[in-house]
């Protein structure tokens, strides 16, 4: 099922933060990176798609259904949203916290296949060794990976990841985004991830959406979007898109002027 | 290799679940034992065996013993169990929805409001709903406790009131009603003052079969009501944003739980007076034993709360033969050091 975001205007109260956002035809299995500076409206966009904020105008359609017509439970089943990581002091193990995410949309009783699903998700993200640890004892990076596991375990049609790698070291940035990409491609699940690292975005995304001040400035393939002058203007830096000998490309950025 | 790991993870979870179920059964057995001992404790010096036989068959040792056990001791012992369970359930749920381990009926001002309601009835004979005699005090304290819960409930609906604000709000309510209570005490005659003080210290002697029926009915509704929402409640412990992202309607869950909490807390406090600490210690011990999966945490909190108040009842009768000390004093004097030693000796991260 494709996802279409049509003329979305949304914000908190009557104040609009997103203005006329349209991201048409997001294909199943595609990995869409949402980039833009701090306070550009990335989190607001995710919360609106996840249904935590009611749009002031416009709509989000999954297949031929408008998300506004889905019940809270059905929407949670279709779309798994991972908010930016926050600490938590609950006395739960990692295994329990992932099971918990799964149980929100599937009956009260814990069934054998629920446990299998949790183990498989933890194994796929290489988190099995953490299963019996308390979630309040995890490091920031570990907690973030567990939050990813909580999102993926629900086997939704779409996952929304708000800065999924902000607390991870280089190795885990690559391994987590790599696992997410290959698993979701295999399942045909749409991934939308807010990313700050343009080079990570270039490496993993099929499509990039550049947002600033609640408006879409660019939408296209990574090499197209990252080569635009709009990137430099948005981040207030000078950028050049370089190609490596192996054929991949990266963004080289310098500050325009030193204060 | 990964197959093996997955199997290990699942058997780990299964054995933890079994351990938790065992703990629930153990707590139930201890509670039953404590209840029987409570019934056997008191003037007359009847043996545990004799009382146990009367519990099983009321007239086995004659009418006199039937009256002592069934009309005096069982109502007191059952009230201890029910009120302990109600206070601990309310405490456990309050702590979860307010995300604060210090929340309980006492700290949120519900007990203070109930005490003021009782004092108002004792001193001025003022009641919100006309009632007679001893019921006047109970009914008034119930209504004031319920009213306070309603105020807390309304406050949660205000925009921008987070869980920290709720606790501050509760403390404000606590001080307001404490001041009003002092005013009542200042205005009271010597006889009325004695009654207020006695009410505040908490006593199980106000037990009756009607109250027990009411309390049991309420618990029979509240515990399944809470158990149906355990997955959402556990999700709430992961943080409000995470719970909402998982599809939990947090605002609605808070209101539903607060209604249940209000009824439990108001009923418990109006039955026995202001007994603090049980609503705090029950959930705390339960949390240390089984963690915060609410399917185990909620029932175990209720059982531990019931056990604590039942043991308190035994102690209150055993210190000086023939004298029953107010339970509020016992819970504080003996319970607090025990509680602190539990906190200090149990490592927080012990989860398995």
Is the CB of residue B163 less than 8 Å away from at least one CB of chain A?
A: no
Nearest to A83 by CA among A122, A53, A60, A113: A53
Helix (H) or strand (E) holding B79: helix B74-97
Kindly report the number of other CB atoms within 10 A of residue A160's CB atom. Answer: 26
Phi, psi angle pair for A195, to nearest 5°: -130, 140
* Contact residues, chain B, for A52 at CB < 8 Å: 244-245
Spatial separation of the C-alpha atoms in residues B301 and A91, rounded to whole Å: 15
In the predicted model, what is the mean pLDDT of residues B22-29? 97
Q: Which residues pair with A80 in a beta bridge?
A: A159
Query: Would you state the pLDDT for residue B346?
Result: 61
Q: Which residues pair with A258 in a beta bridge?
A: none
What does DSSP assign to residue A15?
Answer: E
* Contact residues, chain A, for B95 at CB < 8 Å: none
> What is the residue-wise DSSP string for B16-73?
HHHHHHHHHHHHHHHHHHHHHHHHH-STT---HHHHHHHHHSTTTT-HHHHIIIIIII
Is the CB of residue B1 less than 8 Å away from at least one CB of chain A?
A: no
CB contact under 8 A, B351 and A72: no
- Return the CATH number at A108: 3.40.50.300
Spatial separation of the C-alpha atoms in residues A225 and A214, rounded to whole Å: 17
Q: CA of B278 to nearest chain A CA: how many angstroms apart?
A: 21
Phi, psi angle pair for A228, to nearest 5°: -75, 150
Which residues are CB-contacts of A240 (< 8 A; sequence separation ≥ 6)? A251, A252
What does DSSP assign to residue A93?
Answer: B
Spatial separation of the C-alpha atoms in residues A42 and A47, rounded to whole Å: 9
- By the 8 A CB rule, do A73 and B231 touch? no
CB contact under 8 A, B241 and A86: yes
pLDDT of chain A, 259 residues: tens digit per residue: 889 999 999 988 778 899 999 999 899 999 999 999 988 999 999 999 998 888 999 999 988 888 888 888 888 889 999 988 666 788 899 999 999 999 887 788 888 889 999 999 999 999 999 998 988 888 889 999 999 999 999 889 999 999 999 989 999 999 999 999 999 999 999 999 999 999 999 999 999 999 999 999 999 999 889 888 888 888 888 888 888 888 788 888 888 765 5
Ramachandran area for residue A189 (φ above 0: left; ψ -120 to 50: alpha; else beta): beta
Spatial separation of the C-alpha atoms in residues B223 and A32, rounded to whole Å: 45
Is the CB of residue B238 less than 8 Å away from at least one CB of chain A?
A: yes
Query: Would you state the pLDDT for residue B134?
Result: 64
* Contact residues, chain A, for B287 at CB < 8 Å: 91
Q: Is the pLDDT of residue B347 over 80?
A: no
Phi, psi angle pair for A79, to nearest 5°: -125, 125
Identify residues of A whose CB sits under 8 angstroms from chain B CBs.
50, 52, 72-73, 75-77, 80-83, 86, 88, 90-93, 95-97, 99-101, 103-105, 108, 110, 115-116, 118-120, 122-123, 128, 131-132, 134-137, 147, 150
- Best mutation target among A87, A90, A99, A114 (most B Cβ atoms within 10 Å) is A90
Which pLDDT tens digit goes with each residue over A141-196? 999 999 999 999 988 999 999 999 998 999 999 999 999 999 999 999 999 999 99
Spatial separation of the C-alpha atoms in residues B69 and B66, rounded to whole Å: 5
Is the CB of residue B237 less than 8 Å away from at least one CB of chain A?
A: yes
- For helices B74-97 and B294-318, the axis angle rounded to 10 degrees is 140
Q: Is the pLDDT of residue B235 over 80?
A: yes
Q: Which residues of B81-120 are buried (b: 16+ CB within 10 A; e: fewer)?
A: bbbbbbbbbbbbbbbbbbbbeebbbbbbbbbbbbbbbbbb
Query: Would you state the pLDDT for residue B17?
Result: 92
Task: Using alpha carbons, list the distances in angstroms from residue B186 to A128, B116, B123, B212.
Answer: 64, 13, 10, 34
Spatial separation of the C-alpha atoms in residues A96 and B56, rounded to whole Å: 42
Alpha helix segments (H runs only) across B237-350 = 240-245, 250-272, 278-290, 294-318, 327-330, 336-345
Structure tokens at A118: 């949790």
Helix (H) or strand (E) holding A180: helix A170-187
Structure tokens at A84: 């930016």
Q: CA of A35 to nearest chain B CA: how many angstroms apart?
A: 21
Q: CA of B121 to nearest chain A CA: how many angstroms apart?
A: 42
Structure tokens at B61: 């040792």
CB contact under 8 A, A92 and B293: yes
The ipTM estimated for the assembled molecules is 0.85
Query: Would you state the pLDDT for residue B127?
Result: 60
In the predicted model, what is the mean pLDDT of residues B23-33? 97
What does DSSP assign to residue A19?
Answer: E
Spatial separation of the C-alpha atoms in residues B309 and B326, rounded to whole Å: 12
Q: CA of B231 to nearest chain A CA: how many angstroms apart?
A: 6
Spatial separation of the C-alpha atoms in residues B214 and B222, rounded to whole Å: 12
- By the 8 A CB rule, do B264 and B142 touch? no
Helix (H) or strand (E) holding B120: helix B110-124
Chain centroid to CA B202: how far?
Answer: 13
Tell me the pLDDT band of B1, cut-offs 50, 70 and 90: very low
Structure tokens at B165: 């604000």
The closest CB to that of A75, out of B232, B235, B247, belongs to B247
Which residues are CB-contacts of A216 (< 8 A; sequence separation ≥ 6)? A21, A22, A23, A209, A210
Question: Based on the structure, what is the number of domains in chain A?
Answer: 1
Chain centroid to CA A243: how far?
Answer: 26
Q: Is the pLDDT of residue B328 over 90?
A: no
Which pLDDT tens digit goes with each residue over B188-217? 898 889 888 888 888 888 788 888 999 999
* Contact residues, chain B, for A135 at CB < 8 Å: 238
Which pLDDT tens digit goes with each residue over B49-73? 888 888 888 888 888 888 888 888 9
Ramachandran area for residue A63 (φ above 0: left; ψ -120 to 50: alpha; else beta): left
What domains lie within chain B, and their CATH numbers? 73-345 (1.10.3470.10)
- By the 8 A CB rule, do B111 and B276 touch? yes
Query: Would you state the pLDDT for residue B5?
Result: 63
- For helices B294-318 and B209-228, the axis angle rounded to 10 degrees is 160
Query: Would you state the pLDDT for residue B126?
Result: 66
Query: Would you state the pLDDT for residue A259?
Result: 52
Tell me the pLDDT band of B3, cut-offs 50, 70 and 90: very low
CA angle A194, A199, A202 (to 5 degrees): 75
Phi, psi angle pair for A231, to nearest 5°: -60, -50
Strands A65-66 and A190-194: unpaired
Spatial separation of the C-alpha atoms in residues A184 and A156, rounded to whole Å: 10
Spatial separation of the C-alpha atoms in residues A7 and A29, rounded to whole Å: 23
Which chain A residue is nearest to residue B5, measuring alpha carbons? A128
Is the CB of residue B13 less than 8 Å away from at least one CB of chain A?
A: yes
Location of structure tokens 């979630």: A135
Phi, psi angle pair for A247, to nearest 5°: 95, -10
* Structural domain for A109, as ranges: 3-255
């Amino acid at each position: 099922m494709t996802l279409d975001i049509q003329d979305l205007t949304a914000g908190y109260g009557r104040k609009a933060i997103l203005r006329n956002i349209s991201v048409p035809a997001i294909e199943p299995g595609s990995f869409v990176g949402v980039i833009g500076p701090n306070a550009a409206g990335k989190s607001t966009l995710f919360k609106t798609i996840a249904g935590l904020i009611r749009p002031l105008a416009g709509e989000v359609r999954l297949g031929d259904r408008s998300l506004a017509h889905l019940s809270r439970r059905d929407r949670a089943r279709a779309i798994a949203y991972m908010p930016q990581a926050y600490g938590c002091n609950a006395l739960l193990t990692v295994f329990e916290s992932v099971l918990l995410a799964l149980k929100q949309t599937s009956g009260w009783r814990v069934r054998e296949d629920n446990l299998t699903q949790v183990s498989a998700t933890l194994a796929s993200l290489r988190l099995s060794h953490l299963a019996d640890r308390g979630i309040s004892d995890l490091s920031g990076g570990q907690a973030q990976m567990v939050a990813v596991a909580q999102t993926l375990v629900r086997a939704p049609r779409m996952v929304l990841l708000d800065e999924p790698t902000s607390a991870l070291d280089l190795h885990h940035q690559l391994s987590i985004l790599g696992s997410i990409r290959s698993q979701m491609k295999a399942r045909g699940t749409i991934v939308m991830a807010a990313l700050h690292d343009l080079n990570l975005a270039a490496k993993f995304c099929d499509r990039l959406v550049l947002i600033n001040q609640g408006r879409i400035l660019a939408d296209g393939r990574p090499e197209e979007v990252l080569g635009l002058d709009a990137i430099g203007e948005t981040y207030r830096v000078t950028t050049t898109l370089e190609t490596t000998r192996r054929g991949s490309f990266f963004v080289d950025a310098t500050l325009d002027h030193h204060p | 290799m990964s197959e093996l790991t997955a199997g290990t993870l699942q058997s780990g979870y299964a054995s933890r679940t079994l351990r938790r179920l065992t703990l629930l059964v153990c707590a139930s057995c201890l509670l039953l034992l404590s209840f029987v001992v409570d019934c056997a404790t008191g003037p007359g010096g009847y043996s545990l065996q004799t009382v146990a036989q009367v519990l099983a068959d009321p007239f086995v040792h004659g009418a006199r013993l039937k009256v002592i056990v069934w009309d005096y001791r069982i109502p007191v012992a059952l009230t201890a169990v029910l009120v302990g369970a109600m206070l601990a359930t309310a405490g456990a749920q309050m702590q979860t929805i307010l995300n604060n381990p210090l929340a309980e009926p006492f700290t949120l001002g519900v007990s203070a409001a109930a005490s003021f309601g009782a004092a108002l009835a004792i001193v001025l004979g003022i009641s919100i709903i006309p009632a007679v005699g001893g019921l006047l005090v109970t009914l008034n304290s119930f209504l004031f406790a319920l009213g306070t819960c309603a105020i807390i409930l309304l406050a949660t609906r205000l925009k921008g009131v987070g869980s920290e604000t709720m606790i501050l709000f509760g403390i404000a309510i606590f001080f307001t009603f404490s001041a009003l209570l002092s005013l009542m005490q200042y205005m009271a005659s010597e006889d009325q003052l004695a009654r207020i003080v006695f009410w505040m210290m908490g006593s199980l002697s106000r037990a009756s079969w009607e109250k027990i029926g009411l309390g049991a009915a309420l618990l029979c509704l509240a515990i399944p009501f809470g158990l149906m929402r355990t997955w959402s409640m556990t999700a709430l412990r992961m943080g409000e944003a995470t719970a909402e992202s998982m599809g939990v309607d947090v605002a609605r869950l808070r209101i539903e739980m607060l209604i249940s909490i209000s009824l439990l807390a108001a009923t418990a406090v109006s039955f026995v007076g202001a007994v603090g600490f049980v609503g705090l210690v029950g959930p705390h011990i339960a949390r240390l034993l089984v963690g915060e999966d609410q399917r185990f945490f909620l029932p175990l909190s209720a059982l531990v709360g019931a056990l604590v108040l039942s043991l308190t009842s035994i102690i209150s009768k055993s210190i000086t033969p023939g004298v029953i000390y107010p339970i509020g004093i016992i819970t504080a004097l003996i319970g607090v050091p025990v509680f602190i030693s539990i906190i200090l000796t149990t490592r927080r991260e012990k989860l398995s």
